[in-house]
Structure 1
Amino acid sequence: MMKKNQFWQYLGGAIAMTLFIPSIASAHTGVGDPSGFWQGLVHPIGGLDHILAMVAVGLWAAQMGGKALWAVPSAFVVAMIGSSVVGHFGLPLPGVEQGILVSDFMLGLLLLFATRLPLALSAGIVGILAIFHGYAHGAEMPETASGLVYGLGFIISTAALHLTGVGIGLAIDRYQPKFQELLFRIGGGATIVGAIYVLIDR
């Protein structure tokens, strides 16, 4: 069984990696890739607003447990794929940037208040929020990129961020059950603080 100090090292490492991902992505934006896979891969991790939402989706899924572990992140990915097509073809969607930021605040609040909703409603909420993220991915696809390859890139990154949130949540459940509710609430609070930072930085 993992000791408490090992748990905190794991949690701290995961958070640190999440915070440094945007810098890693920015450092490699000049890498040539005519297929678009690299651009798709780094797009979701190139902005803190995307990272906050996607990790929070995983955390919220873990907080709810059961079928939500796979259904909630899956709803995000499916809705994101659909809206990325809309964004790629330039169909209008007002308030995309605002919608992305709202998703950070909403997911943070859901975590902060330990909100447990019916599975279909939870998946629906996450799917609606994913529309804004997917639209941004599709609208910013390079003209020379392959839509399928670019899409595969941002799907992989999104799934990885969801899994990061789920993994942290499951680690909390297993190794810190006494502080489970508190730690999830801290995760929600951290998401809201991050969203405030993004709002001020714009």
Structure 2
Amino acid sequence: MKHLTRKASTAALTLATVALPAAAIAHTGEGAHVHGGLMAGLTHPVTGMDHLVALVLFGALLAGTSLKEKQLGFAAAGISLAAGFAGGIALGGHVAMEALITGSALLFAAALAFPASVRGKAACAVAILLGAHGWAHGVEMTGSLAGFGAGFLASSVLLMLAGLPLGQQIQKIAPALRAVLAAGAALGLMLLAG
């Protein structure tokens, strides 16, 4: 019964993670990217499909890895997000920001094909791409720097943690199927690059 409850909880969390952005109005209309305060920082990573998918997939990469690899992966992600956030505030937007955000999600999806023994190292290596997500939030932030920054980082960490059970389920998929899914993600990345 306990195993069934855990499966149901994982399924509900995954469904909520996927369904929430469909109802969100973030990322649409004039001025939609101007945010301020703790609540805006908490909600923006959850209501923006690009950020939500990339953060959950990054967490999924760390599933099945050692505790040390998880700690290093989350530390690298946090540093990258915070550094990107500071860069976005200080320097403003840049041309490649949206492409890097989308590309990071596709790269994280492709990396899920790797065995768990490789994924932890891959996650640490590609964590720098999360800096683009932090950068976008820094560019879009107005109002309380402390409130928005704390909310954005807390929400991002929770989304990455939510990816851990998803990654555990993905590990159970046959390696050949994981490779097909990764190839599809890689094709999407190539199409995005033009």
Taking structure 2 as the reference length, the TM-score comes to 0.76
- Would the alpha carbon gap of residues 25 and 156 (structure 1) be closer, same or farther in structure 2, given more than 3 Å must change? farther
Contact 2:59 2:163 in 1 (8 A): yes
SS in structure 1 opposite 2:2? Answer: coil
Q: Deviations over 1:118-175 (max 9, x none)?
A: 866642321x211110110000002xx11111100101110110111124445x5xxx
Distance 1:129 1:103 in 2: 6
Residue 102 of structure 1 is matched in structure 2 by 103
Residue 8 of structure 2 is matched in structure 1 by 9
Distance 2:120 2:60 in 1: 15
Contact 1:112 1:189 in 2 (8 A): yes
Distance 2:10 2:174 in 1: 11
- Would the alpha carbon gap of residues 139 and 70 (structure 1) be closer, same or farther in structure 2, given more than 3 Å must change? same
- Would the alpha carbon gap of residues 2 and 169 (structure 1) be closer, same or farther in structure 2, given more than 3 Å must change? farther
Q: Deviations over 1:63-97 (max 9, x none)?
A: 32331222212211211111111111234543110
Q: 1:27-176 counterparts in 2 under 5 A?
A: 36-91=37-92, 93-114=94-115, 116-117=117-118, 122-126=123-127, 128-142=128-142, 145-169=143-167, 172=169
SS in structure 2 opposite 1:182? Answer: coil
Contact 2:13 2:162 in 1 (8 A): yes
Distance 2:166 2:109 in 1: 15
Distance 1:25 1:74 in 2: 29
Distance 1:180 1:135 in 2: 31
Overall identity of the aligned pairs, in %: 26
5+ long unaligned stretches in structure 2? 29-34
Taking structure 1 as the reference length, the TM-score comes to 0.73
Q: Which amino acid aligns with 2:109?
A: G
How far off its partner does 1:2 sit? Answer: 2.6
- Would the alpha carbon gap of residues 167 and 14 (structure 1) be closer, same or farther in structure 2, given more than 3 Å must change? same
Distance 2:79 2:66 in 1: 20
- Would the alpha carbon gap of residues 24 and 151 (structure 1) be closer, same or farther in structure 2, given more than 3 Å must change? farther
Distance 1:113 1:125 in 2: 14
5+ long unaligned stretches in structure 1? 173-178
SS in structure 2 opposite 1:43? Answer: helix
- Would the alpha carbon gap of residues 96 and 23 (structure 1) be closer, same or farther in structure 2, given more than 3 Å must change? same
* Count of matched residue pairs: 179
Q: Which amino acid aligns with 2:133?
A: H
Distance 2:20 2:36 in 1: 22
